[in-house]
Amino acid sequence: MKIKILRFSLLLVVLLNILVSCKNDDDDSVDFVEEDRTEQQAKDKDSLIAYLTSHYYNSGFFETGTNHKYTDIVITALEEGETVPDGHTLLMSAVELRTTTYFETDYEYYVLNINQGGGGSPAFTDMVRVRYSGSSINEALDGNYETFDSSVTPINFNLQTDGFSFSVIKAWQLVMPTFNASSSYEIDDNGIFTFTNPGLGIMFIPSGLGYFSGTSTGSSYDNLMFKFELLQYEVEDHDSDGVPSYLEDRDGDLDVVDDDTDEDFSPNFIDIDDDGDNVATLDELIPSTYIVNTNNNDEEPVLGANEYEISRVTIDGVITIKTVTIADSNNDGTPDYLDETITINYNEI
């Protein structure tokens, strides 16, 4: 599994820097200096455009049906003087240009949406289940098509790290929430899953939204291409405090690390007492339990607007669902768990 968080790449850079610095006393080798992000992005933009304007894909194959796989996508280099054959589309004519700011650098990247997907859509902090392959665009421009990472069997990735576990590169966190997962799935007698109407696409990304100076792909500053199927996702609650992690992004800037209500240097999404009032967040939410007996054809409960499922256990067709509801007992717009002046423990009432 090669997809790692950038932070670890940076750590590696620091370590390399120390190693190289130590050597400097003995010889005259130069310090490792990471490329300037803005300068690198300008080069990467040229590489991405060069690739997208010189390659086409089998678009006709995907015109009917919604159950295609990433392995069905065939990208071919356009030979000099050749026109794009019928049933195919030049990548540049099919992709959508997207922009973002990351590490104070303006980035451009491209997404080819082949199928949106028929299910729900993950939040940027959720876990996704995908099939995918990743390859180097720089290598492809040199005529070498090599996959550096792939999984044809479904595999899970966290879109948001808690600072300790691995998670994906930035581009995945940006792109996955813009697709939908499959609408349903079936498991056959051999345990093989079949997914209906999954999200299917390709992302073409500059090194700055990938591994940048890291060498996970075999070389630094690689522009990358990921073909993927978004199969399923799960809502993540990193600190298990009952509030889904995406809701702990209080300022809504798609960054959970910069939200720290009690300013204790533990961001809300990994803080079990978000307002620091010594009543745990989980205790400042109103608990409910639902019993759904599927043997009696009981229907699942419809959850309230501020109600979230925290656990589900099924025994002999009887489902026990526990939920929490965000309370704002003084109606001042700040929920109890973020209001240090309110200390009601709903699990002791």
Smaller CB separation from Ca ion, 81 or 333: 333
Q: Which stretch binds Ca ion (CB under 5 A): 35-43, 53-61, 310-318, 328-336?
A: 328-336
Q: Establish if 283 lies at the interface with Ca ion (CB under 5 A).
A: no
Q: How far is the CB of 111 from Ca ion (least distance, A)?
A: 23
Least distance in angstroms from the C-beta of 283 to Ca ion: 9
Residue 258 in the binding site for Ca ion (CB under 5 A): yes
Rounded CA-CA distance 217/197 in Å is 30
Which one of 222, 236, 237, 249 is in contact with Ca ion (CB under 5 A)? 249
How near is the Cβ of 156 to Ca ion at its closest, in Å? Answer: 22
Q: Which is nearer to Ca ion, 229 or 283 (CB)?
A: 283
Candidate residues 222, 277, 283, 309; the one interacting with Ca ion per rule CB under 5 A: 277
CB of 127 to Ca ion, least distance (A): 17
User: Is 262 one of the binding residues for Ca ion (CB under 5 A)?
Assistant: yes
Choice from 139, 237, 239, 283 touching Ca ion (CB under 5 A): 239
231 in contact with Ca ion (CB under 5 A): no
Closest-by-Cβ residue to Ca ion is: 271
- Select the span of 42-50, 67-75, 86-94, 267-275 touching Ca ion (CB under 5 A): 267-275
**Contact between 237 and Ca ion (CB under 5 A)?**
no
Which of 9, 138, 161, 268 touches Ca ion (CB under 5 A)?
268
Binding residues for Ca ion, rule: CB under 5 A, are: 239, 241, 249, 251, 253, 255, 258-260, 262, 264, 266, 268, 271, 274-275, 277, 336, 339, 342
